[in-house]
């Protein structure tokens, strides 16, 4: 009804507009102008009226225009050019309005609207209808600037993943093979329901190779295989799993799973891809956590709030690197306060994906389109993390750190004083040098400089300001902080300067070594970051100074700490004064998951540090046994890694856009068991790996099974899985015997051809190395550079370290074949494997082939395989190049049997 | 891996290449005898003579690969895209966006445009272009003297003057024009295109990147990353000298061709046995054919970019006879050969960041020194590429895109240079049946900001996908709980481009 009448009015008034078209806009009275505008806007009301409000915008009244819609106010009276309405009708901002099928406004109409806004958008009283009543009924919901928070309903809470896992009844299974473990009973029941027949158990040789590669990422030695095959104990396999779980190499394999999720890297990414020289301490923390079987709830708590625990430890402080690991621009961050919001977005996205398998970051600009997550929820999480500042936690006692600081401060103070003297000596020379530099500038710049300040035109002032600020001769280097090169001075001055420089040099040598630090976070106030003379590595904003805020970047012990306020919808892109008009959002947990007591977080810190305790409260909401997601998400990741597919196939998304669990009872049983067993990951490995499900053979096939379940979703056979990039490399090194077991510490740089490194512009690091023991460490210790992947890892689907990776893709492409076949690493390793075989088996080709099979495949060759291999060796033996045996070893590295877990 | 002399046009390299090609075709028959016979024999594909030149084109019997051609959403205007990315930020007001008002207001501050933000220091006054402009072609398009050769083909080009980005940072803007997002981690356009369409050629990578021989652009390979798409869709770097692909051949002396063939035969046998023990897993058979493909690629990749066989006239057309234009000319000629062979997406880069202010278009210090150096590197090659594609009948099925990460300020920087300007840049397209000789959108009177018909990266990407037969709203990939798009949640077709 309403819409119809609006359109009708528009038609009448439009006719009037065209009649008045010849009159100048300024000559019109306000009333007729407003009427014209109202007529023009009537067109818009089909979609933005009182009845329909697309993008939450109504143009029916002046107030509604001022209030605006989802994209902010539609008009700014007096400023047409800055008004969204004007930008949209002129197409300066997309999408242009009105949208098809309506035709665009005519230039006259646009001019009318512009003039009207520029004159303050006057609106006669009588034209103002009563404001529309569209405020939400629930007062606890946030309404601001056109945003109306959606309510979270009971129906929302009924989504499977938001209901607490319930321990299922274990189905009765007839077959005794499948009735020992609840895992088996649950899997088998599903199989029976689908009419699938499971594979028989795998043989011991297959099992030990599978268990080694799965748990350690290494091959079992032939001796270990023999011992296991011959072990008469009925517990031989269980004992094997226990032994492997106790190995320090277990963590070196399974930490990789977490590092993928945590988007771990040794460099910052973006333009300069700076080296993050101590990132490896977080990587080592993760390896240690897996090896020590750190309870998963503790693991979460430490990563999010390791500095806010009752008693922080060096490990827990190191764990906070999780918050800091994401890609960072670290260039002019001070001038770009939006970067901080992007970093916060990285933290929020990664945190929720990792621990809750939810895409909360989708709610950055609007309520989540699919899941019951509101934009306010997003900002509540910003408020949780908004106190964070990057902080290098000393990994020594506070006394030792204080001693270091006093000593280094004293030396730095002396150096600074000497530096000033050097600057004073150089000052006149630099001034003269600048005159020379100026002489090279175009005439208009010189003229601007030579004009007395008060006589300079506006343009000249700009030129002078520009040249003065970028000349940089006396300042430290903009990006690196390096001092400028020495300038030529007179012999006498040079002598004085040399003396000073000598003293500086001597002082530098006295500098005590810096104790180790962990690159983590703590609470502070990013708005007050001290300006370094150069800007690299800073977070925060010069902009905040403009508004006269003062405060401390790092609060001192004993200070009353107040985190910076979180303004709803702040992005750092708008003027701060405007962002501050928004309501302040208090920290809290996702409404759909939170208990009322968790809203907002108000726990004061208990550890004596000036910190908000917000991250800890947030982490505690995640690890609460009432949280329906945390345990499910992690057991699903473990299952995924063991079987190459998850019970939920989207491990980072349990929301509506994820896939539902293929076996919900199994998922819930595992989740409840995980918590009951104290969040022990190793216990879950034991449960899973000791199951019949895990021990099934992979070389099994029936047409019926394949037809009913072609993707083996219900596990009627053990799925063969290609080794991950890193494990291919580790397996090769463990076959050749070249593997260097040096654990932990600084990363190594695998050799990369210069053709690759030279294409990467960087201020970061990539060291040139050669194949040899120093680079034959386990792949997890290889330097992870965001802008330069190790080519072999890259072709074998190593994920991009910019975003959290939930699962590794397995693609099969020709460049993988080229790498395995032609890359220097594999050729050299084949030679070394041949060398090992010759050393251990002697010169007899048959013995060599047998040992090769036992090393690579944990089995003996069949008679036919042996014969064919012998033929190959005979044919291939030729002087020079690779030996025939090395060639055969090279073939082995390329086989499916070597590259897959069977 | 390759330590041969830089140029592969020497007699020595040439002989080496030929022997490899021979090897390829012999060995192609060799491996076919074992693995392919089983894979493809029943389909009668072995009937094709192994040594025929068309061993390097088409699907060549491949049945399982992420790059098999996929049908477009609707009829495509172009089969392939060649993106020419000028790294560093080309000044639009000194090249294709003629602004006579800059002469009139030279030396005066820019006023009435709100707060003027520049990347470095303070804004300078308006600065006229140091270059003369003149009109070219039937269309009378104004082009500066920097691009006389491109001036000669303006009637084939549609200029978009109102492109606008969101960041004044090189890297973020690189990301924006290549991936649609200004943050790291998203798939590049080339990856999306090959994910959506596969490739017409299974013997060459589907998405080839040839960067400036002086080095890569900002962040290097992150600009052709597949992001969260499967890694297979990332761009493959072709080097313009030596072996084009990393590990295409083993180090000299480490594995003779005969050894390689024997190894491949043994491998095919072993892998085939494994497949028989584990039936019904297509990934395992795909691994077998990946070796066949790799082997084919050893011959096909060098052949595809070997410009030696091109006529002298063609070489001159691309500026190979001139030291300045030779490197990019070579890149352009390679691009033509690649799309001719059915490669879906080719990206060429001019500008290397190793020596940023000199080797990229980042003309802070001087427009004349910088653009005066880079324009002659690319002018003739680009014009040559368009001319050559056209005369071979390829321009209609190829989309040529010329772009940069942002434009530059109409203001002076230190009197001679210009700072970054994401508010306006000129992008142009040719081919794909686009009407040439047109200018789309406009900047304001000084070229400070796009003023009419603002075109965002999403709009550009949506239009490019459209020309390639893809609906940008339907080309999706599930990641992080949603069906992601190259165009995020935006993107409108540019009507004049898709008309």
Q: What is the pLDDT of residues A74-108, one digit of tens each?
A: 888 888 888 888 888 887 777 778 765 567 788 88
Is the ipTM value over 0.90, yes or no? no
Average pLDDT of chain B is 86
Residues of B with Cβ-Cβ distance to A91 under 8 angstroms = 452-454
Give residues 405 to 444 of B whose Cβ lies within 8 Å of A.
411-416
What is the mean pLDDT of the segment spanning B4-15?
28
**Span A626-634, mean pLDDT?**
97
Of B64, B415, B459, the CB nearest to A444: B415
Residues of chain A contacting residue B237, judged by C-beta atoms under 8 Å apart: 759
CA of B423 to nearest chain A CA: how many angstroms apart? 11
What percent of chain B has pLDDT above 70? Answer: 88
C-alpha to C-alpha distances, A804 to A296, A641, A791, A808, B84, nearest whole angstrom: 18, 16, 20, 11, 31
Structure tokens at A490: 């007179």
DSSP B221: G
A685 within 8 A of A861, measured Cβ to Cβ: no
Q: How near does any CA of chain A get to the CA of B283, in Å? A: 7
Name the more confident of A113 and A304.
Answer: A304
Distance CA A33, CA A39 (A): 10
The half-sphere exposure of A179 on its side-chain side, counting CA atoms within 13 A, is: 6
* Euclidean distance between the first and the last CA atom of chain A, given in angstroms as a whole number: 69
Give the Cα separation of B223 and B210 in Å (integer): 12
Nearest to B459 among A94, A361, A818 (CB): A94
By C-alpha distance, which of B315, B339, B343, B340 is closest to B329?
Answer: B315
Stated as kind and residue range, the H or E segment containing A606 is none
Predicted confidence (pLDDT) at residue A356 exceeds the cutoff of 60: yes
Task: Assess B38–A contact: CB distance below 8 Å, yes or no.
Answer: no
Per-residue confidence (pLDDT) for residue A606, from 0 to 100: 65
Query: What pLDDT band is residue B281 in, cutting at 50, 70 and 90?
Result: confident
Contact A350/A263 with Cβ under 8 angstroms?
yes
Using the Cβ of B287 and the Cβ atoms of chain A, whether some distance falls under 8 Å is answered with yes
Reading phi first (left if > 0) and then psi (alpha if -120 to 50, else beta), residue A790 is in beta
**Selected residue with higher pLDDT from B29 and A496:** A496
Give the integer Cα–Cα distance in Å for B337 and B325. 18
Q: Is A4's pLDDT higher than 60? A: no
Average pLDDT, chain A: 86
Q: How far apart are the first and last CA of chain B?
A: 48
3-class DSSP state of A795: helix
Residue for token pair 């029943």: B42
Interchain CB distance below 8 Å, A787 and B480: no
Cβ contact B361:B86 at 8 Å: yes
Interface test with B, best of A469, A798, A815 (most B CBs within 10 A): A815
Q: A100-114, A539-553, B40-54, B149-163: which range is least confident on average?
A: B40-54
CA distances from A575 to A435, A541, A572, B274 (A): 39, 12, 7, 64
**Count of other CB atoms within 10 angstroms of residue A193:** 10
- CB spacing of B125 vs A823 below 8 angstroms: no
pLDDT band at residue A882, thresholds of 50, 70 and 90?
Answer: low
Distance, in Å, from the CA atom of B450 to the CA atom of B418, rounded to the nearest integer, reads 17
- Model pLDDT, residue A545: 63
Cα dihedral B202→A752→A855→A687 (10° resolution): -80
**Token digits for A268?**
């910052």
CA pair distance B367, B378, nearest whole angstrom: 16
How does pLDDT run across A446-481, given as a tens digit for each residue? 888 888 888 888 888 877 776 665 443 444 343 344
Query: Per-residue pLDDT tens for B130-184?
Result: 999 999 999 999 999 999 999 999 999 999 999 999 998 898 999 999 999 998 8
- Cβ-nearest to A791 among B246, B274, B287: B246
The pLDDT value given to residue A802 = 86
Predicted confidence at residue A539, as pLDDT, reads: 37
Judge whether residue A133 has pLDDT over 70: no
Ramachandran assignment for A797, one of left (phi > 0), alpha (psi -120 to 50 degrees), beta (any other): left
pLDDT attached to residue A755: 80
CB contact under 8 A, B262 and A875: yes
Decide if B72 contacts B469 (C-beta within 8 A): yes
Count of H helices and E strands in chain B? 14, 16
| pLDDT higher than 60, residue A7 | no
Whether B481 has its CB under 8 Å from any CB of chain A: the answer is yes
In angstroms, the CA A329 to CA A537 distance is 9
CB pairs under 8 A between A and B: 314
Whether residue B2 has pLDDT greater than 50:
no
| Range A170-179 contact pairs with CB under 8 angstroms and sequence separation of 24 or more | A170/A669, A177/A201, A177/A692, A178/A692
Instruction: Test A466 with B451 for CB contact under 8 angstroms.
Output: no
Q: Are B254 and B16 in contact (CB under 8 A)?
A: no
Flag whether pLDDT at B53 surpasses 80. no
Instruction: State the DSSP code for A481.
Output: -
Q: Which residue of A has its CA nearest to B293?
A: A814
**CB distance B236 to B2 below 8 Å:** no
* B227 part of contact set with chain A, CB < 8 Å: yes
Sign, CA torsion A669/A675/A681/A684: negative
Q: What is the pLDDT of residues A488-525, one digit of tens each?
A: 889 999 999 999 999 999 999 999 999 999 999 999 98
Residue from A839, A729, A837 nearest A778 by CA:
A729
Query: Using 50, 70 and 90 to split pLDDT, how confident is the model at A33?
Result: confident
Give the residue from A43, A184, A47, A200 showing the smallest Cα distance to A109. Answer: A43
What is the reported pTM?
0.81
Asked whether the beta carbons of residue B262 and residue A876 sit closer than 8 angstroms, the reply is yes
Of A459, A658, A813, the CB nearest to B107: A459
Tell which residue, B462, B193, B176, B219, has the closest CA to residue B351: B219
Q: Which residues of B touch A650 (CB under 8 A)?
A: 478, 481
Query: Does the pLDDT at position B39 exceed 50?
Result: no
Residues of chain A in contact with residue B219, where contact means CB-CB under 8 angstroms, are: 269-271, 273, 760-761, 787
Contact A797 B352 (CB under 8 A): no
B450 touches chain A (CB under 8 A): yes
A contacts of B169 (beta carbons < 8 Å): 271, 329, 331-332
Q: Is B353 on the interface with A (CB under 8 A)?
A: yes
Does residue B68 carry a pLDDT above 70? Answer: yes
Report residue B347 as tokens: 């990206």
Query: What's the Cα-to-Cα distance from B458 to each of B159, B165, B352, rounded to whole Å?
Result: 17, 10, 26
> What tokens appear for A576 in the block?
């701060």
Q: Is A158 left (phi over 0), alpha (psi -120 to 50) or beta?
A: alpha
Decide if A650 and B478 are in contact by the 8 Å CB cutoff. yes
The lowest-confidence range among A277-286, A809-818, B309-318, B340-349 is A809-818
Cα of A333 vs its chain's centroid, Å = 18
Contact A699 B278 (CB under 8 A): yes
Distance of alpha carbon B5 from alpha carbon A669, whole angstroms:
63
Is the pLDDT higher at A61 or at A565?
A565
Which residues face A201 on adjacent strands? A696
Q: Find the Cα–Cα–Cα–Cα dihedral B254, B259, B264, B265, rounded to 10°.
A: -170
Which pLDDT belongs to residue B24? 31
Do B179 and B186 meet the contact criterion of CB atoms below 8 Å apart? yes
Query: Which among B91, B97, B191 has a CA at the least distance from the CA of B407?
Result: B91
Please state, in angstroms and rounded to a whole number, the distance separating the CA atoms of residues A802 and A536: 20
Q: What is the DSSP letter of B480?
A: T
Q: What is the mean pLDDT of residues B54-79?
A: 83
Of B108, B122, B269, the CB nearest to A459: B108
Question: B147: which 2 tokens?
Answer: 């691009």
Q: Which residue has the tokens 């990741």?
A: A637
When pLDDT is averaged across residues B468-489 and rounded to a whole number, the result is 92
pLDDT at A168 over 80: yes
- φ, ψ for residue B358, nearest 5 deg: -95, -50
- Record: contact B120-A470, CB cut-off 8 A: yes
Residue ranges of B 290-329 with Cβ closer than 8 A to chain A: 290-291, 293-298
Rounded Cα gap, residues A814 and A49, in angstroms: 58
Q: How far apart are CA A735 and CA B306, in angstroms?
A: 40
* Residue with token string 């268990």: A211
Q: Does B279 have pLDDT greater than 80? A: yes
Handedness of CA A295, A297, A301, A303 (dihedral sign): positive
Helix (H) or strand (E) holding A306: none
């Amino acid at each position: 009804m309403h819409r119809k009448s609006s359109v009708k009015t528009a038609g009448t008034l439009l006719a009037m507009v065209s009649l008045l078209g010849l009159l100048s806009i300024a000559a019109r009275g306000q009333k007729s102008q407003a009427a014209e505008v109202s007529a023009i806007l009537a067109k818009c009301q089909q979609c933005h009226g009182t009845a329909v409000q697309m993008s939450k915008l109504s143009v029916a009244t002046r107030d509604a225009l001022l209030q605006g819609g989802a994209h902010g106010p539609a008009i700014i009276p007096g400023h047409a050019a800055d008004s969204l309405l004007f930008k949209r009708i002129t197409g300066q901002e997309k999408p242009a309005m009105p949208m098809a099928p309506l035709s665009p406004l005519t230039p006259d109409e646009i001019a009318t609207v512009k003039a009207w806004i520029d004159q303050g958008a006057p609106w006669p009283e009588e034209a103002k209808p009563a404001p529309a009543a569209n405020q939400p009924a629930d007062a606890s919901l946030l309404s601001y600037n056109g945003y109306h928070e959606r309510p979270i309903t009971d129906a929302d809470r009924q989504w499977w993943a938001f209901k607490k896992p319930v321990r299922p009844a274990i189905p009765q299974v007839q077959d005794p093979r499948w009735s020992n473990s609840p895992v088996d009973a649950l899997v088998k029941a599903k199989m029976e329901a689908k009419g699938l027949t499971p594979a028989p158990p795998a043989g011991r040789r297959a099992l030990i190779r599978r268990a080694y590669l799965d748990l350690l990422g290494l091959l079992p030695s032939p001796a270990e295989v023999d011992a296991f095959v011959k072990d008469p104990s009925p517990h031989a396999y269980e004992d094997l799993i226990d032994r492997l779980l106790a190995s320090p190499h277990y963590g070196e394999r399974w930490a990789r799973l977490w590092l993928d999720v945590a988007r771990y890297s040794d460099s910052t990414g973006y333009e300069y891809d700076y080296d993050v020289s101590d990132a490896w301490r977080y990587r080592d923390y993760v390896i240690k956590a897996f090896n020590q079987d750190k309870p998963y709830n503790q693991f979460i708590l430490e990563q999010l709030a390791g500095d806010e625990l009752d008693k922080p430890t060096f490990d827990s402080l190191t764990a906070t690197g999780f918050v800091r690991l994401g890609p960072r621009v670290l260039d002019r961050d001070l001038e770009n306060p939006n970067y901080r919001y992007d970093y916060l977005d990285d933290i929020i996205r990664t945190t929720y994906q990792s621990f809750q398998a939810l895409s909360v970051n989708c709610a950055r600009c609007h309520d989540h389109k699919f899941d019951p997550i509101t934009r306010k929820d997003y900002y509540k999480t910003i408020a949780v993390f908004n106190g964070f500042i990057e902080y290098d936690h000393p990994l020594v006692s506070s006394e030792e750190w204080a001693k270091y600081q006093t000593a280094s401060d004293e030396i730095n103070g002396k150096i600074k004083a000497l530096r000033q003297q050097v600057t004073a000596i150089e000052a006149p020379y630099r001034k003269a040098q600048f005159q020379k530099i100026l002489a090279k500038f175009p005439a208009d710049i010189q003229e601007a400089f030579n004009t007395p300040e008060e006589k300079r035109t506006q343009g000249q002032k700009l030129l002078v300001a520009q040249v003065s600020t970028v000349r940089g001769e006396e300042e430290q280097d903009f990006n690196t902080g390096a001092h400028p090169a020495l300038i030529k001075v007179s012999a006498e001055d040079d002598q004085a300067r040399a003396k000073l420089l000598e003293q500086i040099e001597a002082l530098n040598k006295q500098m005590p070594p810096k104790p180790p630090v962990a690159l983590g976070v703590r609470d502070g106030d990013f708005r007050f970051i001290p300006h370094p003379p150069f800007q690299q590595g800073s977070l925060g904003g010069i902009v905040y100074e403009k508004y006269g805020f003062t405060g401390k970047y790092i609060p001192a012990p004993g200070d009353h700490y107040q985190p910076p306020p979180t303004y709803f919808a702040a992005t750092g892109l708008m003027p701060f004064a405007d962002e501050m008009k928004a309501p302040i959002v208090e920290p809290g947990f996702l409404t759909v998951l939170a208990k009322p007591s968790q809203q907002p977080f108000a726990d004061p810190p208990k550890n004596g540090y000036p910190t908000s305790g917000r991250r800890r409260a947030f982490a505690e909401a995640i690890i609460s046994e009432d949280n329906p997601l945390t345990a499910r998400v992690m057991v699903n990741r473990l299952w995924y890694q063991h079987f190459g597919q998850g019970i939920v196939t989207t491990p980072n998304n349990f929301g509506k856009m994820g896939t539902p669990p293929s076996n919900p009872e199994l998922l819930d049983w595992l989740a409840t068991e995980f918590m009951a067993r104290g969040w022990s990951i190793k216990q879950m490995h034991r449960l899973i790996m000791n199951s019949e499900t895990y021990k099934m053979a992979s070389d099994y096939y029936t047409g019926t099974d394949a037809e009913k379940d072609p993707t083996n979703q219900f596990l009627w056979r053990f799925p063969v899985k290609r080794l991950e990039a890193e494990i291919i490399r580790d397996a090769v090194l463990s076959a050749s015997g070249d593997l260097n077991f040096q654990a932990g510490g600084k990363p190594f740089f695998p050799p990369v051809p210069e053709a690759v490194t030279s294409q990467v512009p960087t201020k970061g690091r990539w060291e040139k190395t050669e194949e040899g023991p120093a680079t034959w460490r386990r792949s997890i210790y290889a330097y992870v550079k965001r802008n330069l992947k190790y080519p072999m890892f890259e072709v074998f689907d190593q994920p991009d370290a910019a975003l959290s990776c939930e699962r590794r893709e397995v693609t099969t492409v020709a460049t993988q074949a080229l790498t395995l076949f032609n890359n220097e690493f594999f050729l050299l390793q084949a030679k070394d494997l041949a060398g090992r075989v010759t050393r251990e088996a002697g010169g007899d080709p048959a013995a060599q082939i047998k040992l090769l099979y036992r090393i690579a495949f944990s089995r003996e060759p069949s008679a036919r395989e042996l014969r064919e291999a012998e033929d190959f060796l005979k044919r291939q033996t030729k002087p020079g190049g690779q030996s025939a045996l090395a060639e055969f070893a090279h073939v082995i590295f390329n086989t499916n049997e070597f590259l897959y877990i069977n | 891996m390759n330590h041969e002399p830089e140029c592969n046009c020497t007699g020595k390299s040439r002989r080496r290449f030929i022997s490899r090609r021979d090897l390829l075709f012999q060995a192609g028959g060799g491996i076919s005898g074992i693995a392919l016979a089983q894979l493809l024999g029943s389909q009668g594909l072995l009937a094709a003579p192994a040594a025929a030149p068309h061993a390097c084109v088409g699907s060549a019997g491949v049945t399982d690969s992420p790059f098999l051609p996929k049908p477009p959403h609707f009829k495509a205007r172009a089969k392939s895209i060649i993106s020419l990315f000028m790294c560093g930020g080309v000044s639009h007001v000194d090249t294709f966006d003629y602004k006579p008002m800059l002469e009139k207001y030279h030396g005066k501050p820019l006023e009435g445009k709100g707060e003027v933000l520049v990347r470095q220091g303070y804004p300078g006054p308006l600065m006229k272009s140091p270059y003369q402009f003149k009109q070219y072609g039937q269309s009378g398009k104004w082009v500066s003297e920097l691009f006389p050769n491109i001036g000669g083909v303006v009637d084939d080009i549609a200029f978009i003057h109102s492109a606008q980005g969101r960041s004044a940072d090189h890297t973020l803007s690189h990301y924006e024009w290549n991936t649609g997002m200004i943050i790291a981690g998203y798939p590049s356009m080339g990856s999306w295109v090959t994910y959506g369409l596969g490739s017409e050629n299974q013997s060459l990578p589907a998405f080839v990147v040839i960067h400036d021989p002086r080095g890569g652009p900002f962040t290097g390979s992150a600009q052709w990353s597949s992001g969260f798409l499967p890694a297979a869709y990332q761009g493959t770097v072709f080097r313009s000298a030596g072996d084009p692909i990393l590990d295409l051949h083993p180090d000299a002396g480490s594995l003779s061709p005969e050894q390689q063939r024997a190894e491949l035969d043994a491998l095919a046998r072993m892998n085939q046995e494994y497949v028989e023990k584990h039936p019904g897993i297509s990934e395992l058979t795909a691994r077998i054919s990946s070796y066949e493909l790799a082997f084919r690629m050893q011959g096909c990749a060098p052949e595809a970019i070997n410009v030696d066989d091109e006529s002298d006239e063609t070489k001159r057309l691309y500026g190979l006879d001139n030291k300045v234009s030779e490197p990019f000319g070579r890149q352009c000629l390679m691009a033509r050969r690649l799309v001719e062979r059915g490669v879906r997406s080719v990206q060429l880069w001019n500008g290397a960041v190793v020596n940023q202010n000199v080797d990229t278009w980042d003309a802070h210090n001087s427009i004349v020194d910088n653009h005066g150096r880079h324009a002659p590197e690319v002018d003739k090659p680009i014009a040559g590429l368009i001319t050559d594609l056209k005369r071979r009948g390829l321009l209609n099925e190829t989309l040529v895109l010329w772009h940069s990460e942002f434009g530059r300020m109409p203001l002076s920087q230190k009197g001679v240079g210009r700072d970054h300007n994401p508010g306006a840049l000129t992008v142009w397209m040719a081919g794909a049946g686009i009407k040439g000789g047109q200018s789309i959108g406009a900047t304001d009177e000084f070229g400070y900001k796009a003023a009419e018909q603002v075109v965002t990266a999403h709009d550009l990407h949506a239009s490019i996908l459209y020309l390639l037969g893809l609906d940008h709203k339907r080309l999706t990939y599930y990641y992080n709980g949603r069906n992601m798009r190259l165009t995020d949640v935006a993107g409108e077709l540019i009507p004049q481009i898709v008309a």
